[in-house]
């Protein structure tokens, strides 16, 4: 495990690429080992392609982004729009939230959020990045702005996110089982439909 400090945010980076795919010859298949948080889902998962350890690198990029600014790189209240953003893999470092973040930290995130899993940093490459292995982080206090953004962006969507993650898993499972697996549509908290 390595620690990097950007301002007063300490990010513990460890090798999260656990070999959970060994049984499948290094590849997992949609629905076989799927779990997690919908905001960190990688493009290859959304495309229902076989996937490997690169999904963990993507998740590390999303989580690092959130820890440094307080909001996710891809966000929309509409799941279809959120998934379209993730599939494009385009995101920005918005001012003023990223003004006090080092270029090295931004490069670290860009390497992890590569749209193409073949171009995406591996966990070993991430651990060798200058922001993690070197001394390129800025010494600025970002705690207040990050905390404020986390409270603003995550508290109001906690229930919706939980529902969406469950809905996504159910949707992927149905795709693997065929039409006989169709379930009646549920209603999300607040009266929102879970269909995307």
Q: Is the pLDDT of residue 187 over 80?
A: no
Beta-bridge partner residues of 9: 6
Structural domains of the chain, with CATH: 2-155 (1.10.510.10)
- Lowest mean per-residue pLDDT among 17-31, 40-54, 89-103, 113-127: 17-31
Percent of the chain predicted with pLDDT > 70: 60
Distance of CA 44 to the CA centre of its chain: 12
Q: Is the pLDDT of residue 185 over 60?
A: no
H/E stretch holding 123: helix 123-128
pLDDT band at 14 (very low <50, low <70, confident <90, very high): very low
Rounded Cα–Cα distance for residues 45 and 49 (Å): 6
pLDDT band at 138 (very low <50, low <70, confident <90, very high): confident
Percent of the chain predicted with pLDDT > 90: 33
* Mean per-residue pLDDT of the chain: 73
Q: Is the pLDDT of residue 33 over 80?
A: no
Burial label, 32 (beta-carbon count in 10 A; 0-12, 13-18, 19+):
middle
Q: Is the pTM of this model over 0.85?
A: no
pLDDT band at 176 (very low <50, low <70, confident <90, very high): low
Q: What is the DSSP string of 103-151?
A: HHHHHHHHHHT-SSTTTSPPHHHHHHSHHHHSS-------HHHHHHHHH
| HEC sequence for 19-81 | CCCHHHCCCECCCCCCCCCHHHCCHHHHCCCCECCHHHHHHHHHHHHHHHHCCCCCCCCCHHH
Q: What is the pLDDT of residues 71-93, one digit of tens each?
A: 999 988 888 898 999 999 999 99
């Amino acid at each position: 495990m390595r620690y990097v400090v950007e301002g007063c945010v300490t990010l513990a980076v460890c090798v999260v690429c656990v070999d959970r795919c060994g049984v499948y010859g290094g590849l997992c298949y949609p629905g076989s080992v799927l779990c997690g948080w919908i905001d960190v889902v990688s493009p290859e998962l959304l495309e229902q392609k076989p996937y490997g350890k690169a999904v963990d690198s993507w998740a590390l990029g999303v989580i690092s982004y959130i820890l440094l600014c307080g909001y996710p790189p891809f966000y929309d209240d509409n799941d279809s729009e959120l998934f379209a953003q993730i599939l494009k893999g385009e995101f920005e470092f918005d001012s003023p939230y990223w003004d006090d973040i080092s270029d090295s930290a931004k490069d670290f995130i860009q390497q992890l959020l590569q749209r193409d899993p073949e171009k995406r940093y591996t966990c070993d490459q991430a651990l060798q990045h200058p922001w993690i292995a070197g001394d390129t982080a800025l010494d600025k206090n970002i705690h207040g702005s990050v905390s404020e953004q986390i409270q603003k962006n995550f508290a109001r969507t906690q229930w919706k996110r939980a529902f969406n993650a469950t809905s996504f898993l159910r949707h992927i499972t149905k795709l693997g089982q065929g039409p006989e697996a169709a379930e009646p549509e549920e209603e999300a908290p607040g009266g929102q439909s879970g269909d995307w």
